[in-house]
Amino acid sequence: MRFALPSLAGFRAIALVSLLVLAVTGCEPKPKGTQAPAPDPTSQATEPPKPAETPTHSVVDVATEEETDPVVEDFGASSLLDYAKAEEAMTKGTELLQRGEYDLALEEFKTAAAIDTENEEVFFNMGFALSRLGRTREAIQAYQETINLFPDYGEAHNNLGNLLLKEKVYLKAVEHFQLALEINPEHAAAHNNLGTALSKQGKISEAVPHFSKATQLDNMYIQAWCNLGNALLVQGRYEDAGLAFQNALRINPNFRPAVLGVQRLRIKQGQLID
């Protein structure tokens, strides 16, 4: 078989087709697996800083640690040691107070107060010790400091009122007893003490309800029973006064104020003293 060679025009046509095929093949996209990923604009903000940009942040961190950590540690350690010392003095002082060693207890409370200047309990205990040592004016100051720190401290108002009563500052004493009762209306001692302060001013009719309330709150409150008996005696309510004195003698037959109260009652009733 014979093959006919193409003409010159045929060669040109074949060459043109080959060039077109090569051109199309060169523009064909690469497979996805080999294509380089395009950068994601949203990830740039979370990229770590370049090495050249990090020294500024590192210096700030180091400087902050050097400036703050030693100060915080020193203050914390000092504070804890001081408050531990104050707590130890407070505990020791309370034990001495319970043993009646008021002068030694006072020194411990002074130590605690010098450290913990905002602890109302320290000043309250100081006031108690001072009052037992007969240092009334100083005790008044200590109780006043207690109230300055904690105005709703009913016991401090009651104790301060008692000291003012001894100093015959009756109006201020009444004020503090009333404040104690506003804080705790069931405070038997404050009722009894308020009645006493009112009696000292000759306000017997105002005093009687407070003495009576004190005995209702505490049936074994011997002083309140005696005070009630004496106030009723002044009012001429002899039968009621006798019952009050009998209740006091029921608690303690040898309680001298109650014995004397019965004697006065008998005199008022025109009877002979045994």
pLDDT digits (tens, 9 = 90+) for 166-218: 999 999 999 999 999 999 999 999 999 999 999 999 999 999 999 999 999 99
CA angle 60, 63, 68 (to 5 degrees): 120
- Residue 162 contacts residue 191 (beta carbons within 8 Å): no
Which range (31-45, 171-185, 212-226, 236-250) has the least confidence? Answer: 31-45
Interacting residues of 149 by C-beta distance below 8 A, sequence separation 6+: 118, 119, 120, 123
Model confidence band, residue 64 (pLDDT cutoffs 50, 70, 90): very low
Task: Answer whether 0.85 is exceeded by the pTM.
Answer: no
Mean pLDDT of the chain: 79
Residue 31 has pLDDT above 70, yes or no: no
Domain positions in the chain are: 219-274
- 228 vs 196: CA distance, rounded Å: 10
Q: How many CA atoms lie within 13 A of 55 on its CB side?
A: 1
Domain boundaries 219-274, corresponding CATH code: 1.25.40.10
- 174 vs 194: CA distance, rounded Å: 6
- 29 vs 126: CA distance, rounded Å: 94
Model confidence band, residue 43 (pLDDT cutoffs 50, 70, 90): very low
Cα separations (Å) of 118 from 58, 104, 183? 42, 22, 21
Segment 142-167, tens digit of pLDDT? 999 999 999 999 999 999 999 999 99
DSSP 42: G
